[in-house]
Structure 1
């Protein structure tokens, strides 16, 4: 009996050791359907991403894992999704049209890459007054795959001023208690043209604040602004008034250039993304070379205006992606452009005054050349990336934007030090007042 007890205890200890030392089982995260909503003035577009394996299992449609989707298969998928996608509001049922079916490979939080089917659904209400409050009844896939779920995300809502930050609206899944799939009730915030305008203004500000390449182009044009060219070099310091006038004309020319192509691109002018992004890198490289040695002295406004046309095309891609029209488009162009100008003015006001002060010191030449060379290296990294040659330089160049506030602060500190030392030198060199002589 005693021996049997000891054997039992030994077995329990061994089993516990196995359990304690075993590697924990990793949870398997199942891919989910995602519906991303973009709210417009007359309808809502929904970008759908459906896991291919779940779609095949639920619908029985033979979906290719990759490559082009045959037209008949795309039609089957569209019909299947439309049959399981219903939107209702106070005025009645909405029209749901599914198109643009394609395949892709994607990845969600906690999942490995998996094949998926993408599509775009246009949701049109019977009355646009109901556009901000509706019920979304969607049971594609989950009506057969009970473990599946669908996440609904608000990607953009111009009237609410939400044009750059996605937010979750909720999830659709099987209710295991009732055995039903409850619809999702969507009640959006009240919208207005003013909120849409201010949202686009903020987007314009952040586009420059976070756009390291646009910042560097403007900064490299500012570097030689306090200087005058002579015999192929930057030799003399311009008077403050002349430097201010020069940078004012440069900024206005850049503004006119990018405003023109921003409007044309948003209104439908074809914009080839890769060549435009590559040309922006070229513009920065040329501006950096000009900051080292004058390439086009006195013609900076013309060059800024020309390259402004290129930068404006890149700006327009942001607005085109929102697919706006009518009053929303007009207010968006105005707000977005105004936001860009405000941020450009902030950059000029932050950087130009200390540059004017530092330009009168011997340290400005090495500072200007070092800044221009660093910018040129960043531009080369971007250019290589944008023509398809990925290098570490591109990622390093992107990180320069985080250092912008510190660079501006360092320039101001250096300028203050120069002014204080100059003032102390004047006080030191000033002759002492003569003592009055007493007369008898």
Structure 2
């Protein structure tokens, strides 16, 4: 019975997680096709533009949208929808300001079709522009995972999301620290809501407590916790090195690749790392995979900062903050999962857990590759992925529970011979 339970526990855990994810509305494997609000402050008005990705907008308004329909049959409806979800008021006396949206046009931004509105924000007649509160919930009022980047004078101000729908816009720009904090937060959310980036990291962590020998994964010695920690540090550092390099090159315009091939390559990176978790591809393969495909992931990270027109000084600050947010999120993932994986790896349940989790990773990544290569139109596992990303603590707790249960079974098995011997002596 103990042998059967060791084999079934990982399978039951994965089944529960997948069934629980079924009814949740899909948000995409990589849900940050971000919106953007770009503002420039003048003496008597604030002008700029609002950029709305059509795929996210279509989900928010529950309509099928095309570049043709948003400036044709759906033009009036979308203009009214956007205008109803943007407002401004004086930061001191809360007197409302006028917000006017111009005629919408379509534009391809970072490979994604967007509806773009010119925006003009004005204080009451006779008053000059002062600090004001901007309220904005276009798309984010419907999509939990959506983010809206706000810049003022080509400097990052903040991010609108499900929890933050109002920002104070200062006339006199705050210190570089505000832009740095906003960029760090964006980096945290970009990885924290991106199922593909998280799954890639998980696939790299699964074989970390093991040793490759004879083309197979073998359990490591119980004294090798330090070796495992060093190996995890190498993996995370390699990934950080790879994505930091291409993030900087792409954000500064040195490297410019279309979004679809990059996203397809990210899905491929997960498939390769999942295959490596099933069976070692090369010695220290997870480090090689991390640095190699980290270069590809950096291009995707850069897409979150694209088309914002950041000035050089602001770009440096934003890159540093965004990168810090990415690293913080990666370290949190490691801290949440690695202790449980280390305990679980020293039990008989780990081979089934490793194979089952890697198989799910391979399944998800294959589905993403087909969709991103336009070979399929939908991803049947989006609901599952969205649920898993939306409940990180529950996932970590499930793995910890599995590790504790497998460890308990191991102790009971080890104690059983001793108890049996005592019983024979008593007889």
TM-score range, shorter chain: 0.5 to 0.7
- 1:5 — aligned with what? none
Decide whether the 8 Å contact of 2:40 with 2:48 is kept in 1.
Answer: no
Deviations 1:173-201 (A, max 9, x none): xxxxxxxxxxxxx8769633211111111
Aligned-pair CA distance for 1:385: 1.3
Q: Please, which runs of 5 or more residues in structure 2 have no aligned partner? A: 1-34, 52-66, 72-100, 108-113, 122-127, 133-147, 420-427
Determine if contact 2:156/2:314 at 8 Å carries over to the other structure.
no
Matches within 5 A, 1:71-220: 102=105, 118=116, 133=131, 156-157=150-151, 161-165=157-161, 167=165, 191-220=174-203
Q: How does 1:390-401 map to 2 (within 5 A)?
A: 390-396=377-383, 398-399=385-386, 400-401=388-389
Where do 5+ consecutive residues of structure 1 fail to align? 1-34, 50-64, 70-97, 105-115, 124-129, 135-153, 170-185, 432-440
Q: How many Å apart are 1:302 and its aligned residue?
A: 2.0
- After superposition, the Cα gap between the structure-2 partners of 1:48 and 1:355, relative to the gap in structure 1 and judged at 3 Å, is closer
Find out whether 1:405 has 2:393 as its counterpart. Answer: yes
On the 8 A contact 1:156/1:162 being kept in 2, the answer is yes
Q: Separation in 2 of the partners of 1:308 and 1:122?
A: 40
| Deviating 4+ runs (over 6 angstroms) | 41-44, 98-101, 186-190, 424-431
Residue 258 (structure 2) aligned to one of 257, 264, 272: 272
Question: Are the aligned partners of 1:36 and 1:46 in contact in 2 as well (CA < 8 Å)?
Answer: no
Q: Deviations over 1:1-59 (max 9, x none)?
A: xxxxxxxxxxxxxxxxxxxxxxxxxxxxxxxxxx984136999762269xxxxxxxxxx
The one-character-per-residue Cα deviations of 1:155-186 (angstroms, maximum 9, x if unpaired) are 614667413448579xxxxxxxxxxxxxxxx8
Q: CA deviation at 1:393?
A: 2.6
Alpha-carbon displacement from aligned partner over 1:117-141 (angstroms, at most 9, x marks no partner): 8565799xxxxxx87659xxxxxxx
State how far apart, in whole Å, the 2-side matches of 1:310 and 1:266 are: 13
Question: What is aligned with 2:85?
Answer: none
The alpha-carbon deviation at position 329 of structure 1 amounts to: 1.1
Q: Which one has the largest radius of gyration?
A: 1
Match of 1:55 in 2: none
Which segment drifts farther, 37-46 or 281-290?
37-46
Instruction: Tell whether the 8 Å contact from 2:38 to 2:50 is kept in structure 1 after alignment.
Output: no
Q: CA deviation at 1:326?
A: 2.6
Residue aligning to 1:86: none
Correspondence for 1:84: none
Where 1:319 maps in the other structure, the secondary structure is coil
1:225 matched to 2:219? The reply is no
Q: Structure 1 164/301 Cα, relative in aligned 2: closer, same or farther at 3 Å?
A: farther
| Separation in 2, partners of 1:349, 1:294 | 24
Greater RCO (Cα-Cα under 8 Å, separation 6 or more):
2
Q: After TM superposition, list the pairs within 5 Å mapping 1:321-332 onto structure 2.
A: 321-332=307-318
How many correspondences in the alignment? 305
3-state SS, counterpart of residue 310 of structure 2: coil
Match of 2:48 in 1: 46
**CA distance in structure 1 between the aligned counterparts of 2:192 and 2:200, rounded to whole angstroms:** 13
Distance in 1 between the 2:340 and 2:309 partners? 42
- Asked whether the equivalents of residues 349 and 406 of structure 2 are also in contact (C-alpha less than 8 Å), the reply is no
- Which among 239, 252, 274 is matched to residue 254 of structure 1? 239
- Counterpart CA distance in 1 for 2:390 and 2:115 is 37
Distance 2:318 2:381 in 1: 31
* Cα distance in 2 for residues equivalent to 1:326 and 1:45: 22
Change beyond 3 A, Cα 1:330–1:99? farther
* CA shift in 2, pair 1:131/1:198, >3 Å: farther
Answer whether contact 1:258 1:308 (CA < 8 A) is retained: yes
